[in-house]
Chains A and B, each alone.
Chain A
Amino acid sequence: MIQVSNLTKYYGGKRALGPVSFEIDKGETVGFLGLNGAGKTTALRILACDLRPTAGAVSVGGIDALANPHEVRRRIGFLPETPPLYPEMTVQAFLGFVCDLREVASSDKKAKIGDALGLTDLTAVAGEPIGTLSHGYRQRVGVAQAIVHRPQLVILDEPTRGLDPRQIVEMRKLIHELKDKHTVLLSSHMLSEVSQTCDRLLVLGRGQIVGSGTEAELGALQEPTFSVELTVRVPDGKDGGAAAVLAALGGIDGLLGKSVPTERGDGWDLSISSKRDVRAEVSRAVIGAGLDLLRLDARAVDLENTFLRLVAAPPAAAPAPAPKE
């Protein structure tokens, strides 16, 4: 569905994206994941034929986007970060306008608008002016305008931006429903968002793809790591306080920093990051030192750690584009 090869975008002398190469199959839901400024929006705007890349090739549905952007525009639906809406129009009239812009046949218009309203759960507010709707509803209208003409490719830039937790859940559900009929490409800086809605992730860091794959595949990129958190109390009558706690755990690999008093002041919180599960050693060390072990939690590495590690990696050097003739 999408083939991208060595895509690069410079703003003046500053590289915003690339070179990046990737492919997306028909029917896939792929998430661009990256911190702010990673190049997600630039990549999506290029795919939506709004921005022209400085270098590289883009093909959507077998059509060269650089040679024929107009044909590609016919095949996509795009929700930018700020939904492109006309506040004075009603939802229904706005979707009708979008259908006209997207060259939907008059005979199909009513059915397609009805489908988009139903899918985005906007039927109840179809007659309301967009300007009177809440932020969550406006975001839904933004999604509706991206899908009303039933494009092959739906591009959603930060679709959950500014939504409250309930609206985020509803938006996730909506994206899941889109997966049945469209190839979906979305972006987010929220890991949980992308991992819950997408089949595959493309992690962008400083304009380049630093990781690609499913959640499990990305997790496997990192050596197993265990994060152990514990709370230790120094019993009454025993001297030493924090120093006694640190002395007891001195032999454990991966002890992070210093101990911190608990909120209630009844002990000390500590963290350990290790390549193996050290819970048994920790408990023996604490009890052996005559201290009370109040809490011991351990969790394996998660996608969040992988994401942070990937985006923190230094970018590969890329040559500047040749000057335009």
Chain B
Amino acid sequence: MRAIYMIFRREFAAYLRSIMGWIVVGVALLAMGITFQAFGYKSALASEMLQQFFWSSSGVVMIISVILSFRVIAEERQSGSLMLLSTSPVREHAIVIGKFLATLAFLTLILVLSAYIPLLIKGQGKITGTQIFVGYLGLWLLGGACLAVGVFASSLTREMVIAAVVAAIIVGGMVLLYKLSLVLDPPLRAVFAELDLWWIHFQNGFMRGIFNLKDLVYYLAMIYFFLLLAVKTLEAKRWQ
């Protein structure tokens, strides 16, 4: 636990100290504002407006999550600083979890700073705090799953561009699984639909203020799965 905390603290502090980190925050908030203005602002009902906000913000969160995470291990491998971790008595899972939690914490910061939009909507109409909370929980879990994909992609290579492309392809592919499921026959249709990253678990659930335990379990399972892949990749590359 101590090693996880050390790596988390260093990584998170690096985000806070870097100009790029704050540029990402600014771009994310700007993109959330612009997309909300473009797609959600004209809705008549506050609840629809809120759904539109979460709908448009989910795209921003997926993109930002990939941007935040694709470099976390690849950059260290490229700069040589990963050698410090790989020759230290630190387990691979501590490296992966520490880095993932740092990116998740930074994403959380972005989401907290974006909360002014739903609060403004709440001031204009009838929506509950629970609707806002569930929507944000969905964004947070969706972002967490994308971050885990990015961390895994980052563990594969020292080339950050390749890591970014791999992460984007995996996330994009998982968002399209639902569309793919529509052309399949049962039982594959149900399997592919349930594996989808966005349509079933976010758009039909969290985005509408509906909390389903299976959606929570799905995102946690995705996070676990991709982080496990990252740990196994690091193990294979570290002492080979």
Max chain A CB contacts within 10 Å: which of B85, B239, B240? Answer: B239
Once the chains are docked, how many angstroms separate the CA of A97 from the CA of B240?
26
- Jot down 27 A-B pairs with beta carbons below 8 A, ordered by A: A48-B87, A49-B87, A49-B239, A50-B83, A50-B86, A51-B240, A70-B89, A71-B89, A73-B88, A74-B89, A76-B87, A78-B87, A81-B80, A82-B79, A83-B80, A84-B80, A86-B81, A88-B14, A89-B14, A100-B3, A100-B6, A101-B3, A101-B6, A101-B84, A101-B88, A101-B90, A103-B89
0/1 interface trace, chain B 73-96, chain A, CB 8 Å (1 if under): 000000111111111111100000
Once the chains are docked, how many angstroms separate the CA of A312 from the CA of B238?
33
Closest to B6 in A: A100
- Report the minimum CB–CB distance from A269 to chain B (whole Å): 46
Contact between A98 and B84, CB atoms less than 8 A apart: yes
Q: Write out the residue numbers on chain A whose beta carbons fall within 8 Å of the beta carbon of B42.
A: none
Closest to A83 in B: B80
B126 within 8 A of A: no
Max chain A CB contacts within 10 Å: which of B2, B17, B88, B240? Answer: B88
B179 within 8 A of A: no
Contact between A89 and B10, CB atoms less than 8 A apart: yes
Max chain B CB contacts within 10 Å: which of A49, A73, A74, A84? Answer: A84
- Report the minimum CB–CB distance from B53 to chain A (whole Å): 34
Residues A84 and B89 in contact in the complex (CB < 8 Å), given A89-B10, A100-B2, A101-B3: no
B18 within 8 A of A: yes
Q: Write out the residue numbers on chain B whose beta carbons fall within 8 Å of the beta carbon of A69.
A: 239
Q: Write out the residue numbers on chain A whose beta carbons fall within 8 Å of the beta carbon of B82.
A: 84
Q: Which of A50, A89, A97, A102 contacts B89 (CB 8 A)?
A: A102
Once the chains are docked, how many angstroms separate the CA of A70 from the CA of B85?
12
A179 within 8 A of B: no
Additional 7 contacts, C-beta under 8 A, given A81-B80, A102-B88: A50-B87, A73-B87, A88-B17, A97-B10, A98-B88, A101-B84, A101-B89
Closest to B5 in A: A100
Once the chains are docked, how many angstroms separate the CA of A100 from the CA of B3?
7
Closest to B90 in A: A101
A8 within 8 A of B: no
Max chain A CB contacts within 10 Å: which of B2, B18, B85, B90? Answer: B90
Residues A78 and B83 in contact in the complex (CB < 8 Å), given A86-B10, A89-B10, A97-B6: yes
Once the chains are docked, how many angstroms separate the CA of A97 from the CA of B3?
10
- Which residues in chain A, 206-230, are within 8 Å of chain B measured between CB atoms? none
A145 within 8 A of B: yes
Q: Write out the residue numbers on chain A whose beta carbons fall within 8 Å of the beta carbon of B239.
A: 49-52, 69
- Report the minimum CB–CB distance from B102 to chain A (whole Å): 13
Contact between B85 and A101, CB atoms less than 8 A apart: yes
Q: Write out the residue numbers on chain B whose beta carbons fall within 8 Å of the beta carbon of A2.
A: none
Q: Write out the residue numbers on chain A whose beta carbons fall within 8 Å of the beta carbon of B10.
A: 86, 89, 97
- Report the minimum CB–CB distance from A12 to chain B (whole Å): 12
Contact between B2 and A82, CB atoms less than 8 A apart: no
Q: Write out the residue numbers on chain B whose beta carbons fall within 8 Å of the beta carbon of A76.
A: 87
Q: Write out the residue numbers on chain A whose beta carbons fall within 8 Å of the beta carbon of B18.
A: 88
Max chain A CB contacts within 10 Å: which of B14, B89, B239, B240? Answer: B89
Once the chains are docked, how many angstroms separate the CA of A78 from the CA of B85?
11
A254 within 8 A of B: no
- Which residues in chain A, 119-156, are within 8 Å of chain B measured between CB atoms? 145
Q: Write out the residue numbers on chain B whose beta carbons fall within 8 Å of the beta carbon of A80.
A: 80, 83
Once the chains are docked, how many angstroms separate the CA of A98 from the CA of B7?
10
